[in-house]
Amino acid sequence: MKKLGFVFLFFLISEVMVSQNLNEYQWKNRLLLLISQDTVSSEFKQQMNILRSNINDLEERKLVVLTILPHEYTVGLNEMSPWQKGDQVFLKYGEKEELCKVLLIGLDGGVKLSQKAPILMESLKEIIDRMPMRRSEIENKN
């Protein structure tokens, strides 16, 4: 019985930690969740290549990329970024049958885009640049 309680507590703490990790970005950064079964699918690799070749556009739009696999996740596009254990984000947003899914979460924490295929950078920029908060950022920059 103690083991069962410990396992439950472990999963509860893991879920809270992952949720807190996502919540820490709210009102500071937009999130792009790249959810995949693995890192070897052609869709995953295509999306990573698109994102890595457009780092400046991502930074300008306050966009942080999280790569989420069934049992672990990492933040950023650096191949050396550490992987953290956790499956709650995958369970919340991913599906077992999907090879690759892209979710855009706005500054307010709301899901702005969900698609089951890689997104081109021009499309991503267009979606973000239409957001009211992004338009305000552009106006304040000029």
Q: What is the CATH number of the domain that holds 76?
A: 3.40.30.10
DSSP secondary structure letter of residue 83: P
pLDDT at 86: 83
Q: Which residues pair with 35 in a beta bridge?
A: 68, 101
Positive/negative CA dihedral, 109, 112, 117, 120: negative
pLDDT at 92: 79
Average pLDDT (117-140) is 94
How confident is residue 118, by pLDDT bands cut at 50, 70 and 90? very high
Retrieve residue 8's tokens: 């439950």
64 has a pLDDT exceeding 60: yes
What does pTM read for this prediction? 0.81
Average pLDDT, the chain: 84
pLDDT at 54: 97
The total domain count for the chain is 1
pLDDT at 1: 52
Average pLDDT (100-123) is 94
Which tens digit of pLDDT belongs to each residue from 27-53? 999 999 999 999 999 999 999 999 999
Q: Which structural domain, as residue segments, surrounds residue 78?
A: 2-141
How confident is residue 12, by pLDDT bands cut at 50, 70 and 90? very low
How confident is residue 4, by pLDDT bands cut at 50, 70 and 90? very low
pLDDT at 9: 37
